Amino acid sequence: VLVASGCVEAYYEMGMHVWDIAAGSLLVLEAGGVVMDVDGGDADLMSRRIMAANNRSVALQLVQQIAPYRPVRDDAPPAASD
């Protein structure tokens, strides 16, 4: 919401769930911003990794500054219990 309203230029998060980022992603896109994966690829809401920015240039600059990790996807099958 802060990116969509123009209060900040970019925001990223790793580990949030799809229900935490879906609506905010839509707001950013409708406001003319960009939403992508934290490695610079296409946004995948199930990956639990998101980057939102007011333009692609700002987002790509931030991508170069962060070290992403890969949390368990929201669409991953449940882990088998022993």
Annotated binding site for Mg(2+): 20
Task: Please state, in angstroms and rounded to a whole number, the distance separating the CA atoms of residues 49 and 73.
Answer: 9
Point out the annotated binding site.
20
Among 56, 64, 63, which residue's Cα sits nearest to residue 35? 56
Calpha distance 82→67 (Å, rounded): 33
